[in-house]
Chains A and B, each alone.
Chain A
Amino acid sequence: MNPRYVLLEAGRQLRNVRSLVFTFVVPIAMLLIFGTAYGADGAVDPATRLPWLVETTVQMAGYGAMMAGLSQAFAIVNERSIGWNRQLRLTPLTGTAYLASKVVAALLIAAASIAAVVIVSVLALQAHLGAGEWFAAGAGLWIGIVPFALIAILIGQFARPDFAQPLFMVTFLGLSILPAWMTDVAHAVPSYWLNRLGQLGAAGSGDVLVPMLVLGAWTAALAALITWRYRHDAARA
């Protein structure tokens, strides 16, 4: 691993205005719209016993963090089509380190996005929750995005540039919209458990084992697929 490269890479992505729209502007805008529409009176969701406003904040922070993970797909596909990673192959950086740098970049950007959403929720909408609960919710979401970064890497490895956009859209819709109306499927996709992990953190109690196990299983399966694909690519070169 090469920490200097990883940090520069994350910093480069944070300066890329286009990717910031989905990770910062959209979740904050949706928080302001839905937060004022559904949670301003302090109503509580009977199912989770959390204020609606807190639930919306967790959802939007989770969305921003998920986008920070998934947008790595564009970074990788783009860099492949430009030939940037051909250039990187002439450095000591290994292929694994290159992919790891994308996961770290995703985690750094997700941390910033989660913090931004929570801060806006507290300052602009006066969401009430203890500092410890906010932190637990944020940390839960943050850890939970690792499988999304891995999904992005997989898309980045498989897709040709012209194919990445539709593939990304299908994945994104599958992860974000499907769960709302197909509850059976919902319990299998990682975004359900990402949200659940955030909610449990906000509630400060509950069984975190199941979401951790599901997300852990996703992480392990995706990592295995990526490794297999990577070896396959290397053998063909």
Chain B
Amino acid sequence: MTSSPPIRLTGLVKSFARVRAVDGLDLTVERGEVVALLGPNGAGKSTTIDLALGLSRPASGTAELFGGTPREAVVAGRVGAMLQGGGLLPTSTVAESVALVAAAHRHPLPVQEAMERAGVTAFAKQRVARLSGGQLQRARFAVAIVSDPELLVLDEPTAAMDVEGRRAFWTAMHELTDTGRTVVFATHYLDEADAFADRVVMMRAGRIVADGTPTEVKAVVAGRTLAFSLRRPVGDLEARLRSLPAVQLVEARGARVRVATTDSDGALRLVLAERDDAHDVEVTARTMDDAFLALTAAASASQAQEASR
């Protein structure tokens, strides 16, 4: 039996005003995968999720769930989601909220079972307005799984949770996913993607800039950035830095040079030995945004190379 993948996004484009929130995105998620969509704020993660679920329409491209339209998958109860800005009614209790959404579905789980799976039975009779941040996320999780979905889409599910709450949440998640469910979650925590996903898709500026195992992605993010200024032109230093094995990117803008590398010591030694005009030297741990910058720069450079061939 050939089964269609839970998610297949092809050439998706979506713009808001003048910003391209999603810019030609292709992504296929296979059954049973746990995929992290990793990226800084504004990378287009939430827009991608909205498009995949059929909550907004792409300017071009298609979103398919299980080989059909997103709406068909939603109506069949095959998709559950925790959305950004998808809140519960503050005056209702957790149990009422789950029951209300269950009533809207065709073949829901028993409300009690959904609440047990999400671990919310202890505060089932509490009003939503009185829940703590972590409890609220779990209540939303209970609502997301009440249709017993095969595909779960979670947009920053652990936002507003402390470390312990986060751990408890993912433990509950894993009990669910052990049964072969497909999960896609958006996050801007690298450690979360590393610990809970078996595939990490990194996004920046509406595009996918890396797609691989957590280990592969971590290697990219792990390096440091060396930055310094020069009084004289950069000359052949740029090429010499680039030839160092651990250097991923050299960028010279005016007098300021930035080097992305996993061996900042080696690069620094070279710069200080060669140039007595180097000043304002900085070595910083690379933020995820730097890593993304490096990746996009690398990607567009290789594209340019291929185009010139």
Which B residues touch A9, using CB under 8 A?
Answer: 100
Stretch at the interface among B73-81, B158-166, B214-222, B287-295: B73-81
| Residue on A nearest B96 in the bound complex, by CB | A12
Within the assembled complex, what's the spacing in Å between the Cα atoms of A237 and B55?
A: 7
Within the assembled complex, what's the spacing in Å between the Cα atoms of A90 and B101?
A: 9
1/0 per residue, CB under 8 A from B, across A83-107: the answer is 1101111111100000000000000
Residues of B81-109 contacting chain A, CB below 8 A: 81, 83, 85-92, 96, 99-101, 103-106
A88/B104 contact (C-beta < 8 A), A12-B92, A237-B55 known: yes
B143 at the interface (CB under 8 A from A): yes
Interface size class for chain A? 20 to 34
Which A residues touch B81, using CB under 8 A?
Answer: 90
Are A8 and B99 touching (Cβ within 8 A)? yes
Out of B53, B92, B101, B106, which one reaches A88, CB within 8 Å? B101
Out of B77, B87, B104, which one reaches A5, CB within 8 Å? B104
Which B residues touch A82, using CB under 8 A?
Answer: 87-90
Are A83 and B83 touching (Cβ within 8 A)? yes
Main secondary structure of the interface of B (DSSP, over half): loop
Interface size on B, residues (CB 8 A): 29
Out of B57, B87, B103, which one reaches A87, CB within 8 Å? B87
A48 at the interface (CB under 8 A from B): no
B60 at the interface (CB under 8 A from A): no
B187 at the interface (CB under 8 A from A): no
Are B55 and A91 touching (Cβ within 8 A)? no
| Residue on A nearest B76 in the bound complex, by CB | A92
Q: How many A-B residue pairs have CB under 8 A?
A: 67
Are A86 and B100 touching (Cβ within 8 A)? no
B147 at the interface (CB under 8 A from A): yes
| Shortest Cβ distance from residue A159 to the other chain B in the assembled complex, whole angstroms | 18
Which A residues touch B83, using CB under 8 A?
Answer: 83, 86-87, 90
| Residue on A nearest B70 in the bound complex, by CB | A90
Are A92 and B74 touching (Cβ within 8 A)? yes
Are A86 and B89 touching (Cβ within 8 A)? no
Which B residues touch A90, using CB under 8 A?
Answer: 53, 55, 74, 79-81, 83, 86
Which A residues touch B15, using CB under 8 A?
Answer: none
Are B99 and A86 touching (Cβ within 8 A)? no
Within the assembled complex, what's the spacing in Å between the Cα atoms of A84 and B85?
A: 8
Q: Beyond the given A2-B103, A8-B99, could you list 9 further A-B residue pairs with CB under 8 A, ordered by the A residue number?
A: A18-B91, A82-B88, A82-B89, A83-B87, A86-B83, A86-B86, A87-B86, A87-B87, A91-B74
19 inter-chain pairs at a CB distance below 8 angstroms, sorted by A residue, are: A2-B104, A4-B103, A5-B100, A5-B103, A12-B89, A12-B96, A83-B83, A83-B86, A86-B55, A87-B83, A88-B104, A89-B55, A89-B74, A90-B53, A90-B74, A91-B101, A91-B105, A92-B105, A92-B106
Chain A to chain B: the 3 pairs with minimum beta-carbon distance, closest first:
A91-B104, A82-B87, A5-B103
